Amino acid sequence: MITYRTQIAIIGSGPSGLLLGQLLNRAGIDNIIIDRVSKSYILSRVRAGVLEGSSVAMLDKAGVGTRIHKDGLLHGGFELAFSGRSERIDMQGLTGQSVMVYGQTEVTSDLMDAREADGALSIYDAEGAQPHDFDGHSPHVTFKKDSVSHRIDCDFIAGCDGYHGPCRKAIPTGALHTFEKHYPFGWLGILAEVPPVSHELIYANHSNGFALCSMRSAKRSRYYIQCTADDRVENWSDQLFWDELRRRLPEHFADAMVIGPSFEKSIALLRSFVAEPMRFGTMFLVGDAAHIVPPTGAKGLNLAVSDVHYLYEALLEHYNGKSPAGIDHYSQKALARVWKAVRFSWWFTTCMHRFPNTDAFDQRIQEAELDYLSKSTAAKTSVAENYVGLPY
């Protein structure tokens, strides 16, 4: 057996694990990251793309902000389309803040490069990772690599291992309270090498269902349409997708849309999930390991970053301030912000999508809500301040 000793064993090399690792490196707190898959596999996973200002500030703090500020697209607003028209939510004007469009794969790649430059240890293709004794005195993580057993002894375990990871599952039944909501539809998304139809995101409510026009760069578009929960990618040729997307947009956007072949097409089901508490003994749950939100509010990645903020501050307080207060309050602080983002994501999902039982009355109610929203500064400000992200 190969053995290691570190201060923080981090399971998961997604955005939360890598960001936590990088902040800890800079603070001189030793850590090891392990992941079940390879680096290249992680970098090929197309996921989130909208960063709150606070998330960008955290990446700056981790020393990886250079490329984001150079290549990221700063957005001061977004369009809400409904009833054949569109209204702009001027986030910058209403809140003084904006968001940054920068792909999750780029964030991950920047963090991996920085970690490599620091010479910190990451172990990929680690099989069967398991946290042990996190409610006792010798927390440790075991796994196998190339059929050889490994063991990492540590002070704390950070479960940054996503929804399907082993950390949350290792917590005894009864010690965890979970909350879950499944939405009866999915998003069919494509990536295409075409310029975005608008320089800002367009969220569209249409009687055929929701649509979102997003982007990854000035030349690459990310578009979505609501589909049924049992739909399949094979049912959608590029032409069918473009026709349906354009149908769901106001005419001025549909006419301006540049179409082209897609190079990625996938369906994501929408759900909300929260596990409480986010700390069990010396193990912490971080990011998707503890909560999932539907992508409508663009909060998944941003919540992973705010969890890291609370945990990083708590660990600093433990090691430098010699106080357990931060660690004791990690779960409570993180969950307070998580639930507000879960609420916003649920609200935005509810008022933008067509549900199986949506009838003409419900559709009018949605349109009335969006019309009110577009005309009331108070309502718009509420949406804008949630979208740019609530303070930590």
The binder of ligand FAD chosen from 12, 77, 209, 389 (CB under 6 A): 12
The binder of ligand FAD chosen from 52, 161, 244, 317 (CB under 6 A): 161
Stretch that binds ligand FAD, among 68-76, 116-124, 162-170, 195-203 (CB under 6 A): 162-170
Residue 226: in which H helix or E strand, if any? Answer: strand 221-228
DSSP string, 119-141: T--EE-S-EEEEEE-TTSS--EE
Q: What CA–CA distances, in Å, run from 386 to 264, 342, 374? A: 30, 11, 16
Closest to ligand FAD by CB, 273 vs 355, is: 273
Name every residue whose Cβ is closer than 8 Å to that of residue 281 and which is 6 or more positions away in sequence. 134, 135, 136, 139
Closest to ligand FAD by CB, 61 vs 271, is: 271
Q: What is the largest CA-CA distance in the chain?
A: 65
Dist CA 213 CA 241 (whole Å): 13
Tell me which residue of 22, 12, 8, 45 sits closest to 289, measured CA to CA: 12
**Minimum distance, C-beta of residue 286 to ligand FAD, in the bound complex (Å):** 6
Closest to ligand FAD by CB, 29 vs 212, is: 212
Known catalytic residues are 75, 203, 295, 299, 387
Closest to ligand FAD by CB, 129 vs 374, is: 129
**Minimum distance, C-beta of residue 288 to ligand FAD, in the bound complex (Å):** 4
Contact 40, 293 (CB under 8 A): no
Closest to ligand FAD by CB, 314 vs 374, is: 314
Restricting to residues 283-302, name those near ligand FAD by CB under 6 A.
287-288, 295, 298-301
Is residue 305 within the footprint of ligand FAD (CB under 6 A)?
no
**Minimum distance, C-beta of residue 85 to ligand FAD, in the bound complex (Å):** 25
Is residue 37 within the footprint of ligand FAD (CB under 6 A)?
yes
The binder of ligand FAD chosen from 6, 9, 10, 13 (CB under 6 A): 13
Closest to ligand FAD by CB, 118 vs 127, is: 127
**Minimum distance, C-beta of residue 160 to ligand FAD, in the bound complex (Å):** 5
Dist CA 205 CA 219 (whole Å): 25
Dist CA 18 CA 32 (whole Å): 10
The binder of ligand FAD chosen from 8, 10, 15, 285 (CB under 6 A): 15
Q: Which residues pair with 152 in a beta bridge?
A: 4, 141
Where helices occur in the chain by DSSP H, the ranges are 15-26, 39-43, 53-61, 66-71, 91-95, 104-118, 166-170, 238-247, 251-256, 300-319, 325-352, 360-375, 377-388
Binding-residue pattern over the window 120 to 159 for ligand FAD, x denoting contact by CB under 6 A: ------x--x------------------------------
Is residue 162 within the footprint of ligand FAD (CB under 6 A)?
yes
Q: Which residues pair with 383 in a beta bridge?
A: none
Asked whether the bond before 277 is cis by omega within 30 degrees of 0, the reply is: yes
Closest to ligand FAD by CB, 224 vs 242, is: 224
Stretch that binds ligand FAD, among 28-36, 233-241, 329-337, 373-381 (CB under 6 A): 28-36
Residues that bind ligand FAD (CB under 6 A): 11-17, 34-37, 42, 47-49, 104, 126, 129, 160-162, 164-166, 268, 287-288, 295, 298-301, 304
